[in-house]
Structure 1
Amino acid sequence: MRAQANNFFKPLPAAMPGSEKDTPAKIALGEKLYFETALSINGTQSCNTCHRIDGKLGGDDGNPVSPGAIEGKFGDRNSPTSWNAGFHLAQFWDGRAADLKEQAKGPILNPVEMAIPDEATAVSNLKKAGYEADFKAVFGSADALTYDNVAEAIAAFERTLITKDRFDDFLKGDNKALTQAELQGMQDFISTGCIACHTGPLLGGHMYQKMGLVKPYPNTADKGRFAVTNNPADMYVFKVPALRDIGSTAPYFHDGKAATLDVAVKEMAMYQLGRELDEKTTKSIVAFLRAMDNQRELKLTANK
């Protein structure tokens, strides 16, 4: 079974791309900024507000779509997890940001999210909060507190957010890492056809796919990558979600319409594969996915 699994899945790498130049000081600054509410228009929100990693949480906020810093405004997509994000082929559901650094720049200036009006205001807020010495120490110059370096520091911290789970233990040779129910779930996952999209170290995150490939998805308001590329072939196409620690990130899909993991598995089989899963197979696959629950204890310092 391990040989079969390794045909489709791989253990998570020990480090993310780009992390070779990250220093402990840059990572610590990035962690501090990840929790910094001065990066929102009214001082109420930080990166962690929508992508919660405190309290052993799964890197999101548990809402279908997230509330913004300005009361009454909500985002239009489900907040993706920040765990393992740097392993993805691109960032955001539509892939409009190439990497973590580019992604970090977006929400701060988004008028519906953190709502800072411009880069200069973000930098000014951090100067008022006393960050100039921190940036000088990390980046080596008196004028190092720039918006670009803000994003670079946040990305450095996010490059440390790598999950740890029993499925990797199994892939690496531990015969006792998974239960018989989880092993059966893995076989059901493979035989059902989920591996058409969910393969590799993340079991996803490496490709784009149409939402509603076989049976049309009912929510047609969000056009997916089409809004980025203006290519008709990208209509309703989104980045395939990664499945590591998926049990901690309900609700599911780009619009947060699937409330539970059981519902998400059944509906994905229907919309993407044209298959009606019975309850036994659904629960079997969910058991396998739960074997990827994150067991890593994250030691945070910036929010203490």
Structure 2
Amino acid sequence: MRSLTPSLRLLCLAAGLAAAPAAPAGEPITPVPLSLHQDPAKAALGRRLFNDVRLSANSSVACASCHDVARGGSDRRAKSLGFLGQPGAVNAPTVLNAALNFKQFWDGRADTLEAQLDMVIRNPVEMGSSWEAVLAKLAGDAAYRDGFAAAYRDGLTIANLRHAIVSYERTLITPNARFDQYLRGDANAITAAEKTGYAKFKRFGCVACHQGVNVGGNMFQKFGVMGDYFAQRGGANDADRGRYAVTGNPDDLHVFKVPSLRNVTRSAPYFHDGSAATLEQALDVMFKFQLGRSGSKQDKADIIAFLNTLNSTPAGQP
């Protein structure tokens, strides 16, 4: 493990969420918090902004263009398209449960959702805009002016635009998955086959990186621990540098934030490069390059059965 998992209590407090109930003794996965503590009026403004194309330079794409809440929090593309139709460098991670990640982006360059949002707004491929430009566009919208005046003491400001969007994103957690019900004591919430898949998930070592409240999202790991994934793929490029692009440390080459596996069956394609179109393909890569072993067809079917128990609907949606 390349980074220590932050305390769940501190993580939840920072995100404005109630602490999750503890998992049964010895279980490496923790249930998603049930309670949300975001101001409803501010989160509602953020939801509108999240879907507003005026955040981009030419009013062509919104946050929801790459992070469609109805499609697993992503857009099902290997590389999302920016405001000029250009593909991004990496696959867009899901926005669902992003508030529970210890860092944002594959390379972990943003410590908070606020920092991540700032980088997306300014990115010359993604939004290509600035907060000043966004504020100028929205200042003429009476509904926004009135809404922000009611929700915020100082009304429509850059700081409040940012805060509203992040407030909405923090409602996009997915509590009460069947596996969480199982962790909370309902032994019948998952089937015998799904329990077999979970047992294999732990026994094979998947859980070494995919654990905690987000079943991932709480540490960095090298992509290709047991072999050279990039050589098999056909060579590495700048987007494959991972954490190295942030730190300049040679030990961080090809190191990425471990992705969350919550709702993973709904968020194909997989990996930072979007190279795995299906979970079966992703598991083949994980078995070979992360675990250094092979997985049978039955092993993969069992693990996918378990992964399906991690699906749940975002709590903050109407």
So what's the TM-score if we normalise by structure 2?
A: 0.86
Q: What's the counterpart of residue 78 of structure 1?
A: 91
Q: Could you report, residue by residue, the CA deviation over 1:266-290 in whole angstroms, capped at 9, with x for unpaired residues?
A: 2112111111111111111111101
Of the three residues 145, 160, 174, the one matched with 2:171 is 160
Q: What's the counterpart of residue 73 of structure 2?
A: 59
> Which letter maps to 2:161?
V
Paired residues of 2:241 and 2:255 also in contact (CA < 8 A) = yes
Q: Kindly indicate whether residue 137 of structure 2 is the aligned counterpart of residue 125 of structure 1.
A: yes
Distance 1:214 1:259 in 2: 22
Q: What's the counterpart of residue 23 of structure 1?
A: 39
Q: CA RMSD in A?
A: 1.8
Structure 1 position 10, deviation (Å)? 1.3
Q: Kindly indicate whether residue 20 of structure 2 is the aligned counterpart of residue 8 of structure 1.
A: no
Instruction: Name the % identity.
Output: 42
> Which letter maps to 1:59?
G
Paired residues of 2:106 and 2:256 also in contact (CA < 8 A) = yes
Number of residue equivalences: 288
> Which letter maps to 2:49?
L
Paired residues of 2:172 and 2:315 also in contact (CA < 8 A) = no
Paired residues of 1:178 and 1:291 also in contact (CA < 8 A) = yes
5+ unaligned residues in a row in structure 2: which ranges?
A: 1-22
Q: What's the counterpart of residue 208 of structure 1?
A: 220
Q: Could you report, residue by residue, the CA deviation over 1:74-106 in whole angstroms, capped at 9, with x for unpaired residues?
A: 101111111110010011111111111221222
> Which letter maps to 1:291?
T
> Which letter maps to 1:140?
R
Q: What's the counterpart of residue 194 of structure 2?
A: 182
Paired residues of 1:38 and 1:129 also in contact (CA < 8 A) = no
Paired residues of 2:50 and 2:64 also in contact (CA < 8 A) = yes
Structure 1 position 4, deviation (Å)? 7.8
5+ unaligned residues in a row in structure 1: which ranges?
A: none
5 Å-filtered alignment, 1:272-287, equals: 272-287=290-305
Paired residues of 2:220 and 2:255 also in contact (CA < 8 A) = yes
Paired residues of 1:220 and 1:236 also in contact (CA < 8 A) = no
Of the three residues 95, 104, 123, the one matched with 1:91 is 104
SS at match of 1:285: helix
Structure 1 position 7, deviation (Å)? 2.3
Distance 2:283 2:215 in 1: 14
Distance 2:167 2:241 in 1: 31
SS at match of 2:241: coil
Comparing 60-69 with 103-112, greater Cα deviation is found at 103-112
